[in-house]
Structure formats: C-alpha cells, structure tokens
Structure 1
Amino acid sequence: MKTFILEKTDQVRWYTNMRDVFEAANIAPQDYDWYVSDIETNWRPPGFEPDDQWFTGDELAAFLHAHEIQFIWAVFSAVPKGFRPIPALAPYVEDNPRYWDGTEPEPQLEGALFEIACWDSSGTILINLPAQVIDSFVTRYPNTKPLATARS
C-alpha cells in the first residue's frame, strides 16, 4: 500500500496546512525541489500567485514558515533537487478520478518521487511516500488510513 489519506478526524486543527503535514511526516522540504499545481488557498499572501509553479526546497520551506496558509486544493510533487521536468499535464487533485478509481495512483508528474495532495480542505492524500515517512505521519495522526479503504 503506497497511498494514504487523512480525513474525517479531529486530530488536526485544520487539514492541508502543509507546514504541519511536512512536520508530521518528518519531511524536510529543503531536500527536494517542488512543483506545486492546482492551487487554491484560504488567502493569498502578498506576492503569492496561485499559479502552477516551481519552488526550491529552501523557497518552499521559507514560504511555509512565513505564512500560516491552508491549501484548499493543491498537488505538491517532490522531485530530486535540480530536476525540473516540463509537465505534459499539470498534476491536479480536484475532479481527478485517479484517486478514486480503485487503482493505486502514482505521482502524476514524470520523475516525481512522491506527491502530497490537498483535497478540498478536508483531506490530505499521500502518494508513494517512503515507509518511514508514512510511519511518522501515522504516529502523529493515527486516523490516517489507506486510500483504498476510504473509497469503500
């Protein structure tokens, strides 16, 4: 099982606060480059446009440290530092049937190591994260479950 979801729980103050997600999963954003797409947020910090965009890990960490922001919709695709493929189709979560069609979804961005999707401000979907990362996340949020069980 490589895909998990956290939803329908009172274990979080609010879903899809990526600062909290990274902390719970013990992910250092600085270890990757990030393509963030399908972005809708609860507010727009000055200078931030919700267009699909690349962040270095340092840029993303600084942005999340400086702003308490909830991503209502977004896909965070982690790639090795310095690797920036041109997306044929930007990863998306809203109305994406891949999450719910009964198959095990893979990261949408070619070359992505893993993907974290913010789903309608009510769930966080973790795709293809390493086992120790999932273990850390589940330790913090025990109501995390395989996505397949959420579909049934």
Structure 2
Amino acid sequence: MLFFPGIMIDRISKKLRMNPQTKNWLDSATYDLETAESMLQVGRYIYTIFMCHLTLEKALKASVQELTGKTPPKTHNLRYLLKLSQLEPQEELFNFLSKLSDVSIPTRYPEDFAELKKSYDKKAAEYYLKATKEAFQWIRKSLKY
C-alpha cells in the first residue's frame, strides 16, 4: 500500500482507495442526511435543517481530510470548511452553503423557540433538504470515488 496525503493506492490493483477517516466522515454525513429526512417526515423541521447543516459540515470535513490527510478543524463554519477543502462551487451553491451556515446558529441556539418554529416551517425544511442533497452529491463527486 502506498500512502499520499489522504489517498491510499493498492500496489496490486493500482486502484485509489478512500482514506478510512474520509470514509468515516462520509458515512456519518450520510447517516445525518437520513436523519434529516426522518425529521422532515415527522414534522421536526428545525431538526431537519440542523441535520442538513451537520450533513454538509461532515461532507466538507471529508473533503478536507482527503485533501490534507489531516483531521479537519472543529468548526461549524461551512464557508471556512469550503475554503479549506479548496472546492470551487458555482455561485448558487456557495450562496446556499453560506445561508445554511448562518441558519445553523439559531437552530443550534434558539433565542425565541416559538418564532424559530414559525420561521422554519415545512416549506423551509423541504427547501433546505433538497438543496442539501444536491450539495452533498456535488461534494461526494469531487472526491472521485
């Protein structure tokens, strides 16, 4: 087995293999995305959005892990993780990641829970979930596995 930052190459098959830590981040992100879907189905819309953020946070950390071979920083800031990942999304995706990064604060630390529930209703949760799925697929494709 040959090792490069974040990449393993099997000498026999010459196939690229995903770093185990990268796979761990992606597996966890997938689990969080499934949880977001479950939260939408039971009407827990704030948690849907919270889990969307967590999904993309972990997916971006997978990208950082794969690029650098190092453990990503403990941050919730999607813009910062995107910068570290060196991925270059289209403007629409960048804007979504920025928006999701911003809404994660009130969903994580609500000041007025009743108002939060009004602001993040089913329609909002559906929007965030759909866009999160698209962003997640884009990040996964960038890993080339």
Q: TM-score, normalised by structure 1?
A: 0.24
Q: TM-score, normalised by structure 2?
A: 0.25
More strand by share: 1
More helix by share: 2
* Higher RCO by CA contacts (8 Å cutoff, separation 6 or greater): 1
